Amino acid sequence: METQQNWAENYTFGAIRRHYPETLEQVREIVARSRKVKALGSRHSFNGVADTSEDHISLERFAFAPMIDVGRRTVTVGGGTTYGRLCRELHRHGFALHNMASLPQITVAGACATATHGSGDGNANLATAVAALDIVTADGSVRTLSRERDGEMFPGAVVGLGGLGVVTKLTLDIVPAFTVRQVVYENLPLSQVEADFERIFSSAYSMSLFTTWRKASFDQVWFKHRAETETDIVMEAERFGATLATAKIHPIASLSAEPCTEQGGVPGPWYDRLTHFRSDAPPSVGAELQSEYLVPRIHAVEALRAIADMRERIAPLLQVSEIRTVAADTLWMSTCYGQACVGIHFTWNPDWPGVQNLLPEIEARLAPFQARPHWGKLFTMSPVHLQALYPKLPEFRHLLQTFDPQGKFRNEFLDTYLFG
């Protein structure tokens, strides 16, 4: 079998076989006969969290059309379904998800398993929408877990890092569809963010700050407002010291804005504004590396100052950095377990030696703030340090061993960071 890489081509998977089952029975049979197996989503992780030494199962051909339950306000989808595909179907029926990540090309199962998030003071990560999930466990049987029936086990299983089994089906909470207007401003002073962090981030349903850390300001501010009427968003010439952008722009200002979702306050469906990139366009840059650290919100300003102090070290390796807020949740292995957070995200140039040399310094600067790295991105933190950041890790280890006593779904990443 030819080797396969992740989407950014910085990681080569170690699986020796790749399977594309089309039915649940085929998934069960593959899992039951495999010695080491792992589900592979859209390959948007930058590390080995989804890798395996033997059998990879892709659910991209697993046919399962979204099923909407209007009374319960839920939708049930196949694990290989992408958000881009799901969202159009939801909107067509008058429904929405509470939040979206930057990219719509990622799979629902993969995003939820790694606590992937969007932005917004009141918006918890994507996994918090999960109300139930079906998991093919090590012996090939199907285990259904739900928020209603499974009590404390359920929040342990949702952000499962692929360690419990192959998630073939998820049921998600949905809300009535809504309209969003996206308005972009430029050149927000860092001093303004330090002085007015809470008011700035509470001023929109979802928002992002972008910077190259080359100067003491944020190059772009993307406000995403819920807009129920034609006149409820006033585009001021200046907000918080930043000026209104006069043209559509990409987070990386040197690139064409064509792949980006509509800006300029033009109203549009939630799914085509909460993401930064359109589902029919290339996601982000491609030739890149990514890291992200989730810092408790109470330390947000101090953490941003700590990174700003490293400006001269960071800027030469960086394409862009994004700052977002995420609400707290109760999912054991979520980066926002028990605390509202600010996400400090880095999109790096594809220079792993340089990035690898810099990350320990960034992690040391953020260590006093108990920063948790995103599970699907690059970090160099020691297993001991990482494990200390998750108070429910002992219970999660027990859950993994209960579902998978022989370690069929464990891999080098899980063995290192959860059991090492």
**Burial bucket for residue 131 (CB in 10 Å: 0-12, 13-18, 19+):** buried
Taking the chain (420 residues) in consecutive chunks of 10 residues, what is each chunk's mean pLDDT? Answer: 80 93 97 96 91 95 90 96 94 97 93 96 98 98 97 96 97 97 97 96 96 96 84 81 96 93 95 93 79 98 97 97 98 98 97 97 98 98 98 98 97 96
Among candidates 184, 183, 186, 189, which has minimal Cα distance to 243?
A: 186
pTM for the predicted model, two decimal places = 0.96
Per-residue pLDDT at 357: 98
Per-residue pLDDT at 114: 97
Per-residue pLDDT at 232: 65
**Cβ-contact 355, 314 below 8 angstroms:** no
Residue whose structure tokens are 């069960």: 28
Question: Burial letters for 249-284: b for 16+ Cβ neighbours within 10 Å, e otherwise?
Answer: bbbbeeeebebbbbbebebebbbbbbbbbbbeeebb
Write the CB contacts of 28 (distance below 8 Å, at least 6 apart in sequence): 136, 140, 141, 142
Per-residue pLDDT at 230: 52
Per-residue pLDDT at 62: 87
Per-residue pLDDT at 227: 86
Helix (H, G, I), strand (E, B) or coil at 207: strand
**Cβ-contact 187, 237 below 8 angstroms:** no
Calpha distance 260→268 (Å, rounded): 13
Report residue 109 CA to chain centroid gap: 11
Calpha distance 134→31 (Å, rounded): 14
Q: Would residue 265 be called left, alpha or beta, if left means φ above 0 and alpha means ψ between -120 and 50 degrees?
A: left
Report residue 402 CA to chain centroid gap: 27
Among candidates 128, 117, 126, 27, which has minimal Cα distance to 78?
A: 27
